[in-house]
A and B are shown apart, each in its own frame.
Chain A
Amino acid sequence: MGRCRNTPFMIPAIRVAGVSKCFGATRALDDVSLEIPRGEFFGLLGPNGAGKTTLISALAGLVRPDAGRLAVMGLDVQADYRSARRQLGVVPQELVFDPFFSVRETLRIQSGYFGIRDNDAWIDEILENLDLMPKADANMRTLSGGMKRRVLVAQALVHRPPVIVLDEPTAGVDVELRQTLWRFIRRLNADGHTIVLTTHYLEEAENFCTRIAMLKQGRIVALDSTRNLLRSFSAHALRFRLAGGRLPEPLASAAKEESGLWSLPFDRFDEVAPVLAALRDAGCVLEDLEIGKPDLEEVFVRVMNRAEAA
């Protein structure tokens, strides 16, 4: 066991241990601990001001925690900051750019910051994969918002970091970019890169992330695999409208109604047939009928409400 613990395979991509950070009276992070294994596609969710960006900034060395330690690929982000930063690529949330340079110049300069010269082959590959090649020699000022966002992603990847952090990478961008971006990110993940994603688009987190942490007011309020979270906090739902009849008890107590649409949660599909039989026996006439899947939005709302109550 002792030997295994020291092998590189056992070192997680990211280790956050007891990290706290205050900005004045505001506690942005409150004793946050988590580990993200290598190769995982990890989601970091939470409402605005929950501490997601502070946590990412602490990982990137932009914020110094008041307490606790953070490591990327086993390298402490404070004590061994130069090695740790080589392992990490961060796509910032803000749409920032240097207006003096072209796209290619920007990427060459970013490569140089990491001590990489003659990086054009990899830069070309990134440009191709993000559909940026036609804009390679365009000045950053002339690009659309979506194109600038692609360049931000490209900048985070120029040094081939094993850990990639995407801080709301698809905020305010069109469908085409989202598809291009996710195709590329999924490929990188399949190649072994660890991906950490923060997003307000919960559908994206549900589709891509294998594990999710939810933050609220600087604390982790849920941390589990996406599947377990969906199982624990959400359920399938039978949704229907009635063209006639009244919903019998106990179904009426278990179901919710909104604008004439009834929603009845269930865990197993074999529960559906008895429900339909009960409706038929009660003389109900069904209009629309559909089976809804558990969704992360419902999980998110429930977790946040539970944290609020606690």
Chain B
Amino acid sequence: MSGFSTLLYKEVLRFWKVAFQTVAAPVLTAMLYLLIFSHVLEEHVQVHGVAYSSFLVPGLVMMSVLQNAFANSSSSLIQSKVTGSIVFVLLPPISYPAFWAAYVGAAVIRGLCVGLGVLLVTLWFARLGFEAPAWILVFAILGGGILGTLGVIAGIWADKFDQLAAFQNFLIMPLTFLSGVFYSVHSLPPFWQQVSAWNPVFYMIDGFRYGFFGISDASPWKSLAVVGACFVTLSALTLALLRRGYKLRA
């Protein structure tokens, strides 16, 4: 057992021990979104020739993956920083790449657990195709990795819970809600289409949705390039922060 595998195991165990809060609750939230939006819009809206509830499900699944991946790494770090138990991770000989990989790995696993839960529950309400499963998996893992990495940055940067909440409410929430979860960007006015083109979460959702329907607003290869570049850039930034010991080692 290495430092990496133990830290990964501990982070997974941490959220699994409170799975009702960390997995079941977000699944219920996503189901409520589906019930309300599909009830209101099902008969009025079709996107890319797909029923609205079917179009909505992949967006909700991916949104859940992203939000929970962020929540996992950020909440674990801020909690252990505030309580002081971060010292148990800082004292052992865990390298900074292992530290990053363990927190991000656990974030991806939680994101995938919640995403799978949302998918299983919503399958009762919407018909889905699985046109390109490999794309589904790739975008889910990369998207979870990006938000997990952002969670590490936020968790390290924030000194208090309200700072973390600000990061979540003023950055993560707008990026995810304005990314095409609930609509196709082609339905937006040109200005907002341009804005969406600069939102990396749009490419995560769009590429993920391509895996289900084989149709997307942007080319999946373009989406993969944007998402991949974001992952590499944010990971490099996080590794640089960890190497410096930013806000962890005085």
Considering the complex, which residues of chain A in the window 96-134 have a beta carbon less than 8 Å from any beta carbon of chain B?
96-101, 105, 109-117
A115 near B91 with CB under 8 A, answer: no
Interface locus among A36-44, A58-66, A214-222, A260-268: A58-66
Residues in B with CB closer than 8 Å to A149 are none
B93 near A86 with CB under 8 A, answer: yes
Residues in B with CB closer than 8 Å to A100 are 13-14, 17-18
Interface locus among B66-74, B78-86, B125-133, B214-222: B78-86
A96 near B87 with CB under 8 A, answer: yes
Q: How far does the Cβ of B166 sit from chain A's closest Cβ, in whole Å?
A: 25
Instruction: Determine whether B36 belongs to the interface, using a CB cutoff of 8 Å to chain A.
Output: no
Please tell me which one of the listed residues A92, A99, A113, A159 contacts residue B7 in the complex, with CB atoms under 8 A apart: A113
Please tell me which one of the listed residues B6, B80, B84 contacts residue A112 in the complex, with CB atoms under 8 A apart: B6
Q: Whole-angstrom distance between the alpha carbons of A63 and B249 in the complex?
A: 5
B13 near A98 with CB under 8 A, answer: no
Instruction: Determine whether B233 belongs to the interface, using a CB cutoff of 8 Å to chain A.
Output: no
A62 near B90 with CB under 8 A, answer: yes
Query: Contacts A57-B250, A61-B90, A90-B91: A114 and B3 contacting too (C-beta < 8 A)?
Result: yes
B93 near A112 with CB under 8 A, answer: no
Residues in A with CB closer than 8 Å to B83 are 96-99
Please tell me which one of the listed residues B13, B80, B94 contacts residue A113 in the complex, with CB atoms under 8 A apart: B94
Q: Whole-angstrom distance between the alpha carbons of A83 and B93 in the complex?
A: 7
Q: Whole-angstrom distance between the alpha carbons of A88 and B42 in the complex?
A: 63
Residues in A with CB closer than 8 Å to B85 are 96-98
Q: How far does the Cβ of B244 sit from chain A's closest Cβ, in whole Å?
A: 9
Interface string of B86-106 (1 = CB under 8 A from A): 011111111100000000000
Residues in A with CB closer than 8 Å to B250 are 23, 57, 62-64
B93 near A82 with CB under 8 A, answer: yes
Q: Whole-angstrom distance between the alpha carbons of A258 and B18 in the complex?
A: 62
Chain B: residues with CB nearer than 8 A to chain A? 1-3, 5-7, 9-10, 13-14, 17-18, 80, 83-85, 87-95, 245, 249-250
Nearest first, the 3 closest Cβ-Cβ pairs linking A and B are A112-B6, A113-B92, A82-B93
Q: Whole-angstrom distance between the alpha carbons of A109 and B245 in the complex?
A: 23
Interface centre among A85, A96, A112, A117 (most CB of B within 10 A): A112
Q: How far does the Cβ of A245 sit from chain B's closest Cβ, in whole Å?
A: 60
B95 near A82 with CB under 8 A, answer: yes
Chain A: residues with CB nearer than 8 A to chain B? 23, 57, 60-64, 81-83, 85-86, 88, 90, 92, 94, 96-101, 105, 109-117, 155, 159
Q: Whole-angstrom distance between the alpha carbons of A288 and B198 in the complex?
A: 88
Query: Contacts A85-B92, A110-B88, A113-B94: A61 and B3 contacting too (C-beta < 8 A)?
Result: no
Residues in B with CB closer than 8 Å to A114 are 3, 92-93
B1 near A112 with CB under 8 A, answer: yes
**Chain A residue at minimal CB-CB distance from B250:** A63
Residues in B with CB closer than 8 Å to A113 are 3, 6-7, 88-89, 92-94
Q: Whole-angstrom distance between the alpha carbons of A98 and B89 in the complex?
A: 11
Q: Whole-angstrom distance between the alpha carbons of A88 and B92 in the complex?
A: 9
Please tell me which one of the listed residues B7, B91, B245, B249 contacts residue A85 in the complex, with CB atoms under 8 A apart: B91
Residues in B with CB closer than 8 Å to A96 are 83-85, 87-88
Please tell me which one of the listed residues A57, A62, A105, A117 contacts residue B1 in the complex, with CB atoms under 8 A apart: A117
Q: Whole-angstrom distance between the alpha carbons of A92 and B87 in the complex?
A: 8
Q: How far does the Cβ of B20 sit from chain A's closest Cβ, in whole Å?
A: 14
B249 near A110 with CB under 8 A, answer: no
Q: How far does the Cβ of B109 sit from chain A's closest Cβ, in whole Å?
A: 16
Q: How far does the Cβ of B94 sit from chain A's closest Cβ, in whole Å?
A: 6
Q: How far does the Cβ of B72 sit from chain A's closest Cβ, in whole Å?
A: 13
Task: List 11 A–B pairs whose Cβ atoms lie within 8 Å, in order of A's numbering.
Answer: A61-B249, A63-B249, A64-B245, A96-B87, A98-B83, A100-B17, A111-B6, A112-B6, A113-B89, A113-B92, A115-B3
Q: How far does the Cβ of A44 sit from chain B's closest Cβ, in whole Å?
A: 18
Q: Whole-angstrom distance between the alpha carbons of A214 and B14 in the complex?
A: 42
Interface centre among A92, A105, A111, A115 (most CB of B within 10 A): A115
**Chain A residue at minimal CB-CB distance from B83:** A96
Q: Whole-angstrom distance between the alpha carbons of A115 and B18 in the complex?
A: 26
Residues in A with CB closer than 8 Å to B89 are 113
Q: Whole-angstrom distance between the alpha carbons of A124 and B195 in the complex?
A: 60
Q: Whole-angstrom distance between the alpha carbons of A139 and B13 in the complex?
A: 14
Q: Whole-angstrom distance between the alpha carbons of A94 and B151 in the complex?
A: 26
Residues in A with CB closer than 8 Å to B3 are 112-115
